Amino acid sequence: MEAGKLFSEQDAALLEEIILNRRDVRGNRFCTDKPVADEVIDKLITAALNAPSVGFSQPWEFVIIKDEAVKLKVKQSFTEENQKAVNLFEDSRQAEYNRLKLEGIIEAPVNMAVFYKPSAGPVLGQTSMSEVGQYSVVCAIQNMWLMARALNIGMGWVSILDPHKVKNILRAPQQNQLIAYLCIGYVDKFLTRPELDILQWEKRKVRDSVIFHDQYGGQ
């Protein structure tokens, strides 16, 4: 087989910089008056299509959404689910939650729904762990996220949605599973750190606390 390309230390350093500067973008950051060209969306899709997938199954499908009426229906699902989520937090935490802008469905020029489409037959490598099909789709999403950041395009993942309602809104096939609903657009700025880190919603985990060697602790 033909040998693939080798990359330089400079290439690796640039990739590391892109990874470290990737951000989840909310609605208060999107430039609503700056459209995203179809060529840019094509680049994001190309990045996704070149993600690794179990058994080379490529189990992904993408719905690109620009129609404001469709966005409004999805936004309604967010509003309903977000109200449920508020009630899970108490006291000051609930107040903090209410202050957060957790999506950009209307503000982002482009929305994208990413679906997992199960294969009709057995897939090499998926026979023991069925969920690796969905993991493959997540790899595609990460590829898009990094490519978006390299193009200075913001991307936000909205997870506070009813996946079944979104499927119905988008008329998705019954067997398809919604993995991600993404908001895509140019931004006024990228934050130097993740927003929830800046707001101290959670503390960044200490590196050594999540790394084990050979096995978890104990004899």
CATH number at residue 30: 3.40.109.10
Query: Does 128 map to a domain?
Result: yes
Tell whether 132 is covered by a domain.
yes
> What is the model's pLDDT at position 203?
92
**Can you give the pLDDT at residue 218?**
61
Is 219 within the bounds of a domain?
no
Give whole-number Cα distances, 47 to 41, 42, 55, 122, 184, in Å: 10, 9, 18, 26, 15
The mean of the pLDDT values for the chain is 95
Is 196 part of any domain?
yes
Q: Identify whether 210 is part of a domain.
A: no
Could you tell me if residue 118 is inside a domain? Answer: yes
Tell me which residue range forms the domain holding 70: 23-170+180-204
Segment 156-185 mean pLDDT? 98
- Give the pLDDT confidence score for residue 55 in this predicted structure: 98
33 found inside a domain: yes
Residue 90 has pLDDT above 90, yes or no: no
Mean pLDDT of 13-24: 98
Mean pLDDT of the region 162-168: 98
205-210 mean pLDDT: 94
User: What pLDDT shows up at residue 219?
Assistant: 56
The residue that leads in pLDDT, 59 or 87, is 59
Is residue 140 situated within a structural domain?
yes
How many domains, in total, are found in the chain? Answer: 1
